[in-house]
Amino acid sequence: MAQPKKKWVAFRTNTPVPAAVIGAKADQKMQAGQPVQLPAAYADHVVHDGFAEFCDAPKAPDLGPKKAVSDSSPKKGAQTADLDAAAKLDAAQAKVDEAGAHLMAVAGTDAEEEARTALDLANAELAALQPAS
């Protein structure tokens, strides 16, 4: 059975990942405890060295059944905003993962520069959504 090309890991601390590993122009700081998909060899390396541990892919937040009557209390509004932010962050991470996989697939071809630009844009979108550390 072939080894998967990417694996999900969660870093134990906020850890920079080299740009060459994720196909970006600059190193990217990964948030502690947040699942991130990395190339299998690098994921194995950071887990072996104790910087991270393998984890499952993040699941989309369960928003539950829709209510007919809205509860507009401040607490509910904050929870909804947190869920919306988490969903946007998950979508942006998925976009980065997809763009990175596409870049790896077209490396060395005429489409590489366009794929690299798409990955850079996806990384910028993700960075804008991530909370400051």
Rounded to two decimals, the pTM is 0.45
Q: Are residues 32 and 77 in the same domain?
A: no
Gap between the Cα atoms of 92 and 86, Å rounded: 10
- How many domains are contained in the chain? 2
Q: Are residues 112 and 88 in the same domain?
A: yes
What is the predicted pLDDT for the residue at 3? Answer: 55
Could you identify the residue written with the tokens 């590489």?
Answer: 112
What is the predicted pLDDT for the residue at 68? Answer: 55
Residue 66 lies in a domain: no
Domain extent for 19 = 1-59
Residue 81 lies in a domain: yes
Gap between the Cα atoms of 55 and 46, Å rounded: 13
Cα 105 from chain centroid? 19
Residue 64 lies in a domain: no
Gap between the Cα atoms of 122 and 100, Å rounded: 9
Pairing of strands 6-11, 52-54: antiparallel
What is the predicted pLDDT for the residue at 73? Answer: 55
Q: Are residues 55 and 75 in the same domain?
A: no
Domain termination site, one of 59, 83, 108: 59
Q: Are residues 76 and 27 in the same domain?
A: no
Residue 65 lies in a domain: no
Q: Are residues 76 and 97 in the same domain?
A: yes
Could you identify the residue written with the tokens 């209510």?
Answer: 67
What is the predicted pLDDT for the residue at 48? Answer: 95
The 10s digit of each residue's pLDDT in 37-68 is 999 999 999 999 999 999 998 887 766 665 55
What is the predicted pLDDT for the residue at 53? Answer: 95
What is the predicted pLDDT for the residue at 106? Answer: 79
Within the chain, which residues score under 70 in pLDDT?
1-4, 62-78, 131-133
Gap between the Cα atoms of 105 and 114, Å rounded: 12
Pairing of strands 15-17, 28-30: antiparallel
